[in-house]
Structure 1
Amino acid sequence: MKNIFVALAFFAVIGVNAQTKEKNAKAALQTETVTQNLSPDAAAERDMKALGAVITIDESVKADLNKLFVTKYRALEDTSLSNERLAALNAYVESSLLNFIGESNFAKVKSNSKLFKQLVK
């Protein structure tokens, strides 16, 4: 009797775990689908508008920021990127963003977690 109860509990845990992973996978797929519908140039333009709504962007760095975002989205189109390469890309975008907009503006962007995630990840 005890073994039957343990076996049923084990299968219930596995079933719940599988359902959770499936929901997370579907949510990630939907997010990727929305992002993939935009070209890298259109996605970069969207990021520039979102960034411009939070901070004032100097004309001298607009082209550099746009190039950074286009590069990011072109790299993200490659579906074979490993987690390490994605982390390196995110770190590169974050450091470049800090260099282009300055520390005070970067702090404003970082305080807006949704925008920061959109720009860096």
Structure 2
Amino acid sequence: MKKLIAALTLLLAFTINANAQDKKDLTTAEKGKKEALALSQYLGLNETQTADFERLFEQKHRTLEDKNLSQEKRDEVARIIEMKIAASISDDQMTKLRQNKELLKELITN
């Protein structure tokens, strides 16, 4: 009986630890969705635009996951993402986004 309780306790401990780690590490899709939602709420984007930005940010995170990516390439990715954002929204919305430097930085880097 003691062995059974000990085994169940260990199983429970490992299960809780594994779940805690899963919650910390968001997938690229989840990161993309989170950033697209933040942008959408800030600028009042429609559903289609939000979905487009989800895919853009998901691709950004997939690209930036490469540990061998040089700083120059990371800077280039950030520049391209900013240009794609600017091309997808109005000038007024881009001006508003540039005023929120923290949000813009989070969207184009990370």
Same fold (TM over 0.5): yes
Instruction: Check if 1:90 corresponds to 2:74.
Output: no
Deviations 1:75-113 (A, max 9, x none): 111111011111110011000000111211111111111
- Corresponding residue for 2:97? 109
CA distance in 1, matches of 2:26, 2:67: 16
- 2:67 pairs with 79, 93, 97, which one? 79
- Corresponding residue for 1:38? 26
CA distance in 2, matches of 1:87, 1:51: 21
CA distance in 2, matches of 1:70, 1:110: 21
* Structure 1 segments of 4+ aligned residues over 3 angstroms from their partners: none
Q: Is the 8 A contact 2:35 2:107 kept in 1?
A: yes
Q: Is the 8 A contact 2:43 2:93 kept in 1?
A: yes
RMSD: 1.4
Identity of aligned residues (%): 27
CA distance in 2, matches of 1:60, 1:52: 10
CA distance in 2, matches of 1:58, 1:40: 22
CA distance in 2, matches of 1:95, 1:66: 16
CA distance in 1, matches of 2:39, 2:51: 13
How far did 1:51 drift? 0.8
Unaligned runs of 5+ in 2: 1-23
Deviations 1:23-81 (A, max 9, x none): xxxxxxxxxxxxx8211111011101211221111333223211110100001111110
- Corresponding residue for 1:60? 48
CA distance in 2, matches of 1:52, 1:65: 9
Amino acid at match of 2:104: F
Q: TM-score, normalised by structure 1?
A: 0.66
